[in-house]
Structure 1
Amino acid sequence: MKKLFLCLLLVIFSGSLMAAAGPHFDNRLKDHPSPYLAMHGEDPVHWQSWGEEAVQLAKKLNRPLFISSGYFSCHWCHVMQRESYRDPEVAKILNTWFIPVKVDRELNPALDSHLIEFVQLTRGRAGWPLNVFLTPEGYPVVGITYLPKDRFLALLTQLRDRWQSDPDELRRLAQDALDEWRSMRQPADVPVSPEVPVAPKFVEQAGKLMDELSGGFGEQNKFPMTPQMRALLKVRVQVKGRKNLDEFLRLTLDNMAGQGMHDLIGGGFFRYVVDPGWQTPHYEKMLYDNAQLASLYLQAATAFSEPRYRATAFETLDFMLREMWRDNHFISSFSAVDAQGREGAYYLWDEETLRKILTDKELTLVKTAWFDAVAAQSEWGKLPRWQLTMDEIAHRTGQPEGAIKHRLEVIREKMLKARAARSLPADNKGLAAWNGLALSALADAVGAGGSEAYRETGDQLASYLATKLWDGKRLGRALDAGKVLADGTVQDYAMVAKGLQDWVSVSGDEQYAEIASELVKIAWKRFYRKNRWLESDMPLIPMLDGKLALDDNPLPSATALVAGLSLDMEGLQNNKPVQKLVTTHLDQVRSRLSDSIFWYASYVEWLDRN
């Protein structure tokens, strides 16, 4: 694949030829219901929405497609917009020689996943903003992430000239690259006996990636890795070395909740931290992270008989209900930057601001408990993080723990009230899959004895998913003014089905079990073809032939959820065609993906059960 990519680069970055331009067209994104797309509605770039019309326009004018995918709370998406997409020189080239298309990756996850994989294969890494040039037929040519304006302009010019000089050669190389990419998708069989449990291999692979000093996985940025953490909690009693595994799990849970990834003032978790010690967050807050982490901490509270984890879970759900709940569903995310474009400023504090809202004694206590003595890394101030344990604070201040907890809660309420006056942009889309995860978290909380507010919210959310997004035949991914904004993907069918099924367990409302069963059957029918899973069944460009299974990324594997629901749900356990599909699928996952099972953690339970 990289060899073909180099051939493409050699063709692109050689020669220069100008040709006459075709007709102009307008920016179609103004007032778009997606906040991410709407924020590009005033760009001088003539952005088109992703759809059949844009693809046909590229073919009609014989221009390359330029697809730029991102999301509302992405910091570098905002930077590239400011530097490049609002620049008249960049806009002129894009408008004249390309068909520029802006994509909200949260509305089109299948397309985004396809292009992300291309950029990872050809560049070695990928992220957002994700920018890919394709032939008018939809064959990827070159992909990049963020580039400064001067480098982006140089690339645009070189691509323009090469396309005008020899488009057929670019088409041929791009199609050959897609064919090679397709062949790479075929995983080799791994000799595995069905009788050999997968859990020990999963724990062994996890062990190679564990940071035993700080918790979490890897040695650079730290992500929650919630699907892997949940799988480890489930299998911990089945494997050797349980004490060391328990220590790792508790260390990770404690550092995620006690350091920079957790919002100590308002509750909830940031998307990840940019250092191995969990100190400095990347300040987006995503619904899918918080929903999954609420469930994770409730699971951990039971596994370790630890009330602190239960409190963290409920605090996370309280944040979701207080700040993300809108019109019977949860919104998608909060931006990393505030309304003034300052990254993290919404969450940061300087001493001058604290002095205005706290007494001298409160300021002394909060500096001891939550703020270190090191100079702030940001001009906007410091992020509150636990500096000492409650016992250490009590010893240092000479006050009883109960009194300190009460005083800190009063301080937290003051800071939360002051922070509410600040402005933080939100992406108010209600995505089906992410709300399915939230419904599962609410069910877990009700089952754990949580407040009545969780049950009331869960009832409203279940009804929204079952009556607004589901029309009895198809599931919408999101709505705008009652109209479907995007069709459901396999992710949506799987996570909404799981959420509804989980809600049945605490509500007893069997109508949701029937809908969940129907969603699972449709998922098999629409997205599982020739033993491969498609993320969307309506691609507008040549995609690959699907995947053997979807991996665990920040979200749990949708295909593992479909398989697990098929085994667990009463309405499907006696459905012979579905059970045959499950058996075939799990056998293939076992035989072909066991050597990378860490990245398919959601399958471990079902592989060892089936």
Structure 2
Amino acid sequence: MNRLGSSTSPYLRQHAANPVDWWPWSDAALAEARDRDVPVLISVGYAACHWCHVMAHESFEDPVIGAKINANFVAIKVDREEHPDVDAVYMAATQAMTGQGGWPMTVFATPDGEPFLCGTYFPRDNFDRLLDAVAEAWRDQRDAVLRQGAAVVEAIAPQRLGGAGGTPITPDLLAQAAQRLVAAHDVAYGGFGEGGPKFPPHLALLFLLRHYKRTGDKDVLEVVQHTAEAMARGGIYDQVGGGFHRYAVDGHWVVPHFEKMLYDNALLLRVYTDLWRLTGDALAGRVARETYECLVQDFSTPEGGFRSAYDADTEGVEGLTYVWTPDQLVEALGEEDGRFAADVFGVTAAGNFEHGATVLTLARDVDDADQAVRDRWRQVKAKLFTARQDRPQPAIDGKVVAAWNALTITAIGEYARVAEALGEDPGDAADRAERAATLLAERHVDADGRLRRVSLDGIVGEPAGVLEDYGCVAEAFALIHQLTGAAVWLERSGALVDTALAKFVEDGRVFDTAVDAQRLVTRPADPTDNATPSGASALAGALLAYHALSGEPSYRDRAAEILGQVAEVIAKHPRFAGYSAAAAEALLSGPVEIAIATPDADQAIELTRAAIRNAPGGAVLVVGEPDRPGVPLLDGRPLIEGRPAAYVCRGFVCDRPVTDPVGLSTVLTV
């Protein structure tokens, strides 16, 4: 047993019994390399990574390889989800040296952490030879190795984007971004770009939905609808259990890479919820509901948070849990329902996956079918889900990541509001969002107000929060303030954005790590969105929400400065700036502030529903008694002739209050 057994990372624990003398990422590990005068082997991956498992089985579980590593290197195992800052630095080096990246990431570095040779997956024999070559180079060509490391560090130093003020966010700039996405739309299969692999473009879709709401551009809405429907009907969507897999290996959304990630499902829940809100589309509403149910059923932890991921493999085989043959359908459902299921889900004898199996897709329309067909389809799905539970199941990464839980809190909170506004019962969604927020507030926020990134089974780990944690959690706390009317959530949100501004922003420049964080060979500062929002875009969204709820104009100004620095990225590369563009839409809209003054929430239910249905993207909404303590947006917002009244404001300057839903809808759509 090496040093990884007590880690809060399930990925590191997977390697605890390796013959490799692994260290977790730490200054102590680098100090050990300096003391021994040996290079560092840094292996970066995550628990749901297929090729990480392959390399582990081939190399890291091999005693011969383990002995060679232990003799010539200090080996450091990094969970990229615990340490996105470390991952970002060495991924930049890997891409600079090889032209590509991925996981597992294999990096050889000096004892100071300077990378001099990088790669990804290496087959066992190649890796064996590489270990010998690196050890020999360190021994016999030390000066060349050190020069290489210094050159790589210089090459990957982040470049500053824009000036101090940046480029102003304008309607034309966001229109340009939207037009670029429309032009890149795959008109045959949805998404952006042709061919595979295809990742769900949730951040870009969130932007486009906000842009459509502000502009009414029907071309933009068609892109979102087409892509959302294609994903929902494809194999990337779990047709039986709900929720989305990580990506499709093809360009048609049919065959997924079977891992399920919390952040994907949280962000896609927001997409389908907002599409449902704006259009009333039955398919979007069903997918939103099923994705929420998947988050509750499959991702919830006993402590009230949400676990990170489900593995791509089941017992080393991709898709084993999820795929079906016609005979398996008949065995689970009987002859008649088996044929019905094969027809609806596109299951054939030839299959669309390996060994004649089929990844289920939605081959027939059921959302608009008659009630009898819908009832039968739901019964068949329930039976298939029960049968699937008897199969071997993929491994689970149970750690709670602050940023990803915050994205989930925001998604579930928005779903709760929209479902109720559209006449569906959201169940206890709002309570679940608040419970998860309480877990973050009580376990992940230190006594000094600093965030910790991860916990496992309620035990908080050592990794410090990075900027995306601060931004996402602050935005989630702002939403819980709106849902509950409790002053403490707005206070908590404000404390986090203040800490983020103090610790992560220097001379107007936004960094992903705090000024007092563990020193890396470069300080990452990537403003582009990837699978999750960048730290900069998350902070901008949080600043706008806090400004709109608190009335403090300086926070809006800081958000505008941050977005101005990435304005050119938004305009020219919107696929990599979707969350920034969505925040920019909120900036242009105000953000809109809606206060509904009422002595009792039930008395204002129709006003509240009208507000939710018609609010522009990024709007905030509070409902409660006039002058409620700790709720600035309700200050000085009285009832009108004893009736509930809705105030629509920007910068705390309000239009004339309205008391009927039609009037409120008109104000919000003008």
Is 1:434 equivalent to 2:404 in the alignment? yes
Is 1:503 equivalent to 2:446 in the alignment? no
Q: 1:85 to 1:291 in 2, by over 3 A?
A: same
Q: Secondary structure at the match of 1:321?
A: helix
> What does residue 267 of structure 1 align with?
242
Is 1:140 equivalent to 2:109 in the alignment? no
Q: Secondary structure at the match of 2:355?
A: coil
Which amino acid is 1:543 matched to? V
- CA distance, structure 1, for counterparts of residue 6 and residue 523 of structure 2: 35
> What does residue 246 of structure 1 align with?
221
Q: Which structure 1 segments of 5+ residues have no match?
A: 1-25, 395-400
Is 1:233 equivalent to 2:209 in the alignment? yes
> What does residue 605 of structure 2 align with?
none
Checking the alignment, whether the CA contact within 8 Å between 2:529 and 2:579 is kept in structure 1 is yes
Deviation at 1:218, TM superposition (A): 2.1
Is 1:476 equivalent to 2:452 in the alignment? yes
Checking the alignment, whether the CA contact within 8 Å between 2:42 and 2:75 is kept in structure 1 is yes
- CA distance, structure 1, for counterparts of residue 366 and residue 540 of structure 2: 44
> What does residue 543 of structure 1 align with?
521
Is 1:369 equivalent to 2:347 in the alignment? no
Query: Aligned ranges for residues 182-261 of structure 1 at < 5 Å?
Result: 182=157, 185-187=159-161, 197-219=172-194, 220-236=196-212, 242-261=217-236
Query: Aligned ranges for residues 363-402 of structure 1 at < 5 Å?
Result: 363-373=338-348, 375-376=350-351, 377-379=353-355, 381-390=357-366, 401-402=370-371
> What does residue 128 of structure 2 align with?
153
Q: Secondary structure at the match of 2:118?
A: strand
Q: 1:587 to 1:474 in 2, by over 3 A?
A: same
> What does residue 252 of structure 2 align with?
277
Q: Secondary structure at the match of 1:201?
A: helix
> What does residue 451 of structure 1 align with?
426
Which amino acid is 1:51 matched to? S
Moved more, 494-503 or 85-94: 85-94
Q: Secondary structure at the match of 1:177?
A: helix
Deviation at 1:67, TM superposition (A): 0.8
> What does residue 425 of structure 1 align with?
395
Which amino acid is 2:416 matched to? V
Q: Deviations over 1:35-80 (max 9, x none)?
A: 1111111211111111121111111111111111111111111111
Deviation at 1:544, TM superposition (A): 2.5
Q: Secondary structure at the match of 1:66?
A: strand
Aligned pair partner of 2:25 in 34, 43, 50: 50
Q: Deviations over 1:400-420 (max 9, x none)?
A: x32221122111111111111
- CA distance, structure 2, for counterparts of residue 349 and residue 196 of structure 1: 49
Which amino acid is 2:542 matched to? L
> What does residue 33 of structure 1 align with?
8
Checking the alignment, whether the CA contact within 8 Å between 1:567 and 1:573 is kept in structure 2 is no
> What does residue 413 of structure 1 align with?
382
- CA distance, structure 2, for counterparts of residue 430 and residue 544 of structure 1: 27
Q: 1:552 to 1:61 in 2, by over 3 A?
A: same
- CA distance, structure 2, for counterparts of residue 593 and residue 61 of structure 1: 47
> What does residue 83 of structure 1 align with?
58
Deviation at 1:469, TM superposition (A): 1.4
Checking the alignment, whether the CA contact within 8 Å between 2:433 and 2:480 is kept in structure 1 is yes
Q: 1:428 to 1:135 in 2, by over 3 A?
A: same
Q: 1:193 to 1:411 in 2, by over 3 A?
A: closer
Moved more, 222-231 or 453-462: 453-462
Is 1:323 equivalent to 2:292 in the alignment? no
Q: 1:508 to 1:573 in 2, by over 3 A?
A: closer
- CA distance, structure 1, for counterparts of residue 237 and residue 557 of structure 2: 43
Give the fraction of aligned pairs with identical amino acids, expressed as a percent: 28
> What does residue 107 of structure 1 align with?
82
Q: How much is the aligned-residue C-alpha RMSD, in angstroms?
A: 2.4
Aligned pair partner of 2:491 in 487, 494, 514: 514
Q: Deviations over 1:347-385 (max 9, x none)?
A: 112334333321211111111111332523223832221
Q: Secondary structure at the match of 1:255?
A: helix
- CA distance, structure 1, for counterparts of residue 167 and residue 441 of structure 2: 41
- CA distance, structure 1, for counterparts of residue 162 and residue 472 of structure 2: 29
- CA distance, structure 2, for counterparts of residue 569 and residue 380 of structure 1: 53
Q: Deviations over 1:279-305 (max 9, x none)?
A: 100000011111111111010112222
- CA distance, structure 1, for counterparts of residue 508 and residue 167 of structure 2: 19
Checking the alignment, whether the CA contact within 8 Å between 2:569 and 2:577 is kept in structure 1 is no
Checking the alignment, whether the CA contact within 8 Å between 1:346 and 1:419 is kept in structure 2 is yes
Is 1:177 equivalent to 2:152 in the alignment? yes
Checking the alignment, whether the CA contact within 8 Å between 2:40 and 2:109 is kept in structure 1 is yes
Deviation at 1:491, TM superposition (A): 1.2
Aligned pair partner of 2:325 in 350, 356, 362: 350
Q: 1:58 to 1:208 in 2, by over 3 A?
A: farther
Q: Deviations over 1:488-535 (max 9, x none)?
A: 111111111111111222222221111011111111111112332222
